[in-house]
Amino acid sequence: MRGAFQMSRDIFENPIWEDPVKFRIFFFIIGNAVFSQDGVTHAGVHLKRGQYLRSLRKLREDLTYREGKGNAIKQYPLTTIQRKLKSLENEEKIIMKTLENGTLFTVINYEKYQGLENYKKHEMEQLRNSDGTVTEQERNNNKNVKECSKNDSVVVTNTHETNSNHDVDKIAERYADLRTAQEGKEIYPSITDYDAIAQVVARGIPLPQTIKWLDQCFEEYRERDPNGAIKSFKYCMKYIESRHEESLAKSQAKEVKPSGGIAAVIEQIKAKANEVQKNPSLADKQDGLIEREPKCNECQDKLGWLEDRNGIEVYVKCPCREQRALANNIRTSEITDSFRKADFKTFQTEDKPEIVQHAYECAVTYFKDFKDIYKERCNSIQLLGSSGAGKTHLLTAVANYLMRTKIPDPKEYDKERQRYAQVHYFPFVEGFNNLRDDFEKLEAKINRMQTVDVLFIDDLFKPVSKWHNGERIKVPRATEWQIEQMQAVVNYRYLNHKPVLVSSEWDVDGLFDVDEALASRLYEMSKDYTVVIKGDRMKLNHRMGD
């Protein structure tokens, strides 16, 4: 970007001047914000005057700096950048909004910084006072130097704040790593998380101990609820504070000799054994107990380590991150254990009707084409028609392969940064039964179905048999409420070009009869990969074979 922009001298009197990182971020955003009154269109987004669109990772690269005698190139941690941005937002300097192709920054009071009329009326006054101002500044600077030399506590306070900020950043980075490994996608701490982390640091809990308990917190949660996820550091804060209090109590107990003879000692041993039995991950070698073996011997479950490369300390990510991300991807897909074994190799096409072989070829072709089409309008697949023909097997195979397929991170639009595609399995009947039993999960479930990379809807509008005029007919198992929820999901995915895998016993016309708006969107999204299986039931249904 070429050209120039204005900045008031008031910036030197603003507290932001004392925070170099925050100042650089704010200065960079103002300098790159749209100046034109008419705005501009960038990456499909219309940016108004005072707005700037950039991903956090690109912003991190923009803020690269050099430091030290070796002139080493360095970057701020993403957690630090996010914390400073949240601070700027809280100070009402900017407004942030997350979009699919980056973060939209809006500079509050942009006219105050870039409106020429705000500067002209002060110009003469500044010229008249310039000599006096310089003299006064010199006197104030000399006074400040003398006062600082008399009061060394100022330096101590700043050092303490620096150490505290360092601990907050380290804990935030570890928390982000654990959340990322847990959910299989890049996660950053929120401002609420930073507040909770600061509370832990303020209690004076040593950093190594905090990191250790944070790891244990995630490990225990994963064992208790394999399908759940920790969403807030406040949960971890309670765990860490509880362990800290237990540790303090143990330390105090060691200083007091047990009284009451052998019986009291036996009771203490029983209590400790019960504690280990209930919470084995809290065991500690220094207390003579057993410590849990790490799952990764290379990084000791820390997900990475620091290496010295040519005098520069570099953080290296452990290969186990990918294994954990893939395992988490599979775990959160909600595909059952038996279906996780489904693949193309185990699907039998021999002696099957031609239409079944066509469905198999369509599924295989869709998977091969996926990387090229997944952001296109036609990026989905529908296998429709007869029950028992293998529709669920084939689409589950597609889902299983896609979970092991890497795609560009949709939040970054950076082809070099890839992650495993996330799949969510939603069996229509069972899924809505579960939601009916627990409406508190409805919003989170619908949001997951709307935003996940790939959604697999199994047995959409599954038919049920009813008597009508003396004969049995099939009618869709769909209430108005269920159709409304599916409309919300499909419409969101249609507008945002997100793929859907659909199996249903209804053909295209049958889906149109249930809801034309929904069915027409699904057809437009999958018209190149739609197969309707019809024919002799005895030959098509594998459950009715020999």
Residues 526 and 405 in one domain: yes
Domain boundary among 198, 227, 257: 257
pLDDT for 67 beyond 80: no
Q: What is the domain-level CATH number for residue 103? A: 1.10.10.10
pLDDT at position 501 is: 96
Contact (Cβ atoms closer than 8 angstroms) between residue 167 and residue 201: yes
Q: What is the pLDDT of residue 531?
A: 93
Name the pLDDT band for 438 (thresholds 50, 70, 90): low
Q: What percentage of the chain has pLDDT greater than the value 70? A: 75
**pLDDT computed for residue 152 by the predictor:** 39
Q: Which two tokens stand for residue 408?
A: 């560009």
Number of domains in the chain: 4
In 255-317, alpha helices (H): 261-278
Segment 279-315, tens digit of pLDDT: 544 444 444 434 456 678 778 777 787 887 777 777 7
- Which stretch, 80-84, 106-110, 123-127, 164-168, has highest mean pLDDT? 106-110
- 146 confidence band (pLDDT: 50, 70, 90): very low
Same domain, 352 and 449: yes
- pLDDT for 137 equals 45
Tens digits of per-residue pLDDT, 338-388?
Answer: 788 888 988 888 888 899 999 999 999 999 999 889 889 999 999 998 888
**Average pLDDT rounded to a whole number, residues 10-38:** 83
Do 142 and 215 reside in the same domain of the chain?
Answer: no
pLDDT on residue 493: 93
Would you say residue 492 has pLDDT above 70? yes
Q: How far is CA 457 from CA 20, 303, 449, 460, 503, in A?
A: 50, 34, 9, 6, 7
Q: Do 386 and 539 contact (CB within 8 A), yes or no?
A: no
Let me know whether 373 and 511 are in one domain. Answer: yes
Alpha helices by DSSP H, 184-260: 191-202, 207-224, 233-254
Per-residue pLDDT, averaged over 464-488, amounts to 82
Give residue 503's pLDDT band: very low, low, confident or very high (50, 70, 90): very high
Q: Who contacts 252 (Cβ-Cβ below 8 Å, separation ≥6)?
A: none
Answer yes or no: do 122 and 249 share one domain: no
Residues 105 and 167 in one domain: no
Q: What is the pTM of this model?
A: 0.48
Question: Average pLDDT for residues 200-204, to the nearest whole number?
Answer: 85
Give the count of beta carbons closer than 10 Å to the beta carbon of residue 212.
15
Check whether residue 179 and residue 142 sit in a common domain: no
What's the CA gap between 72 and 451, in Å, rounded? 40
Q: How confident is the model at residue 220 (pLDDT cuts 50, 70, 90)?
A: confident
Asked whether residue 304 is assigned to any structural domain, the reply reads no
pLDDT recorded at residue 447 = 86
- pLDDT interval class at 437 (50, 70, 90): low
Report the pLDDT value the prediction gives residue 479, as an integer from 0 to 100: 84
3-class DSSP assignment, residue 55: coil
- Tell me if 383 is assigned to some domain: yes
Mean pLDDT value across the chain: 77
Q: Is residue 307 part of a domain?
A: no
Examine the pLDDT at 328 and tell me if it is beyond 90. Answer: no
Q: Residue 263: what pLDDT?
A: 62
Residue 360 shares a structural domain with residue 437? yes
Structure tokens at 310: 């040519």
Residues 30-55: tens digit of each pLDDT:
888 888 888 888 777 888 988 999 88
Q: Dig out the tokens for 31 from the structure.
A: 């300098």
Q: Which amino acid is at 184?
A: G
| Co-location of 384 and 464 in the same domain | yes
Residue 312 lies in a domain: no
Residue 292, CB-side half-sphere exposure with 13 Å CA sphere: 18
Residue whose tokens read 């990475």? 304
Q: Which residue has the higher pLDDT, 401 or 328?
A: 401
3-state SS record for 207-228: HHHHHHHHHHHHHHHHHHCCCC
Q: Enter the tokens of residue 243.
A: 């362990």
Neighbours of 281 (CB within 10 A): 14
| Confidence (pLDDT) at 158 | 41
Rounded-to-integer distance, Cα 107 and Cα 15, Å:
17
Determine which helix (DSSP H) or strand (DSSP E) holds 526, and give its type and residue range. Answer: helix 516-526
Torsion sign over Cα 81, 82, 83, 84: positive
Domain boundary among 90, 115, 140: 115
Are 105 and 15 part of one and the same domain? Answer: yes
- Examine residue 176 and state whether it is found in any structural domain, yes or no: yes
Q: Domain range holding 184?
A: 156-257
Kindly state whether residues 386 and 474 are assigned to the same domain: yes
Tokens (6 digits) for 467: 């008597």
Q: Is the pLDDT of residue 135 over 60?
A: no
DSSP conformation class of 292 = P
User: Which of the listed residues 103, 135, 151 is the one where a domain comes to its end?
Assistant: 151
Average pLDDT over residues 442-469: 86
Pairing state between β 312-317 and 304-309 = antiparallel
Q: Are residues 353 and 423 both part of a single domain?
A: yes
**Structural domain includes residue 207:** yes
In a domain, 315, yes or no: no
For 184-194, write each residue's pLDDT tens digit: 776 777 767 87
| 333 against 265, higher pLDDT | 333
- HSE-CB for 435 with a 13 A CA cutoff: 17
Weakest-pLDDT range from 14-23, 321-330, 495-504: 321-330
What confidence tier does 272 reach under pLDDT thresholds 50, 70, 90?
A: low
Closest Cα to residue 240, out of 263, 217, 206, 273? Answer: 217
Among 98-107, 143-152, 177-186, where is mean pLDDT lowest? 143-152
pLDDT higher than 50, residue 61: yes
Lowest mean pLDDT among 23-27, 406-410, 424-428: 406-410
> Given this model, what pLDDT does residue 293 score?
66
Q: In this structure, is residue 289 part of a structural domain?
A: no
What is the pLDDT at residue 155?
34
pLDDT attached to residue 131: 44
Mean pLDDT of 126-131: 43
